[in-house]
Amino acid sequence: MGGTFDPVHHGHLVAASEVQARFDLDEVIFVPTGEPWQKGAREVSPAEDRYLMTVIATASNPRFSVSRADIDRDGPTYTVDTLQDLRASRPDAELFFITGADALAQILSWRDAEKLFGLAHFIGVTRPGYTLDDHHLPDGSVSLVEVPALAISSTACRDRVALGEPVWYLVPDGVVQYIQKRNLYADRTIGCRSE
Ligand code: ATP
Ligand code: MG
């Protein structure tokens, strides 16, 4: 499951858990993006902070892990590189790529979109506010899965922190504490959405 995870929240974790159970996956690997090419409009928090928050959030689940593949690769993050790196590190694994309805809608605009479907089976999950649709992606390359609806976004979490509003129970406790400790999102521009 790729994402900016700025910060990781319970919407990500519920989606990952649901897909893990539904497809009986051995492992769900969270892959925080390096330099996100589609998020040019706002400053993204340092990769190391996003990586550590994702580690904190997933530490208690034996089936969850976090990969540094994207943050350790120079340059902007492209999912085709992510999948090729994961394939190289796990040559015998069958790969699935979990993505929310909003990100799935953009998939055809991703670099080397036609290659992606040979590298992994895509799983689109429901997300409040977006319509889940297979966008005529190649036959058999995408599964659509309904997951418990959590209307949480990282954008809203960042805005809440900037306004002094609580993010308890939207993100794991350790992530609330990490945000405070590192003083993340304190003086950002409200409503600076990124997709
Ligand atoms: P931002 O508001 O900064 O874009 P985000 O909440 O969309 O943050 P991302 O890191 O962009 O989080 O998302 C990573 C992946 O998780 C994407 O595929 C996204 O669609 C999915 N996702 C994010 N939030 C949810 C949610 N509440 N329910 C289901 N899927 C989600
Ligand atoms: Mg997003």
9 CA to centre of ligand 2 in angstroms:
11
pLDDT attached to residue 195 = 46
User: How does DSSP classify residue 90?
Assistant: S
**Whole-angstrom distance, CA of residue 182 vs CA of residue 6:** 13
**Whole-angstrom distance, CA of residue 69 vs CA of residue 33:** 9
Q: pLDDT tens, position by position, for the chain (195 residues)? A: 999 999 999 999 999 999 999 999 999 999 999 976 666 567 899 999 999 999 999 999 999 999 999 999 998 899 999 999 999 999 999 999 999 999 998 887 878 888 999 999 999 999 999 999 887 788 888 999 999 999 999 999 999 999 999 999 999 999 999 999 999 999 766 555 554
Task: Report ipTM (2 d.p.).
Answer: 0.99
Please indicate whether residue 130, judged by its CB atom, sits closer than 6 Å to ligand 1: no
pLDDT attached to residue 79 = 92
pLDDT attached to residue 137 = 80
pLDDT attached to residue 144 = 95
Q: Hey, what are 178's tokens?
A: 């990490």
Q: Using an 8 Å Cβ cutoff, are 11 and 150 in contact?
A: yes
pLDDT attached to residue 18 = 98
- Closest CA to ligand 1's atom 7: 153
Q: What's the CA angle centered on 105, arms 103 and 110, to 5 degrees?
A: 70
65 CA to centre of ligand 1 in angstroms:
17
26 CA to centre of ligand 2 in angstroms:
25
What domains, with CATH codes, occur in the chain?
2-152 (3.40.50.620)
